[in-house]
Amino acid sequence: MIQHFQYRSLYQNQQLPGWYLNFYFQKKQMEGIYHPDGSIEWTTPHSFDANTENLIKKQIHELMLFHVYDNR
């Protein structure tokens, strides 16, 4: 489960898509970049198996839809 999810725009012009992500998963701080196409570029090392990474990505997509795209 993702905890303490935070995001911020990568650009000063906040109309441009692209966000920096920061959250905790299994007591480890994770960071990444959420690209406009929905892909995630991890900026912290991780050792997830494919199933766990897919679960995390699904949760992030849901959070981004709620916080970013639904609030425009």
| 41-56 per-position pLDDT tens digit | 999 988 889 999 999 9
| 7-52 per-position pLDDT tens digit | 999 988 766 788 999 999 999 999 999 998 989 999 998 888 999 9
Contacts 24+ apart (CB under 8 A), 64-71: 64/7, 64/19, 64/34, 67/7, 68/7, 68/19
| CA-angle at 51, arms to 50 and 52, nearest 5° | 95
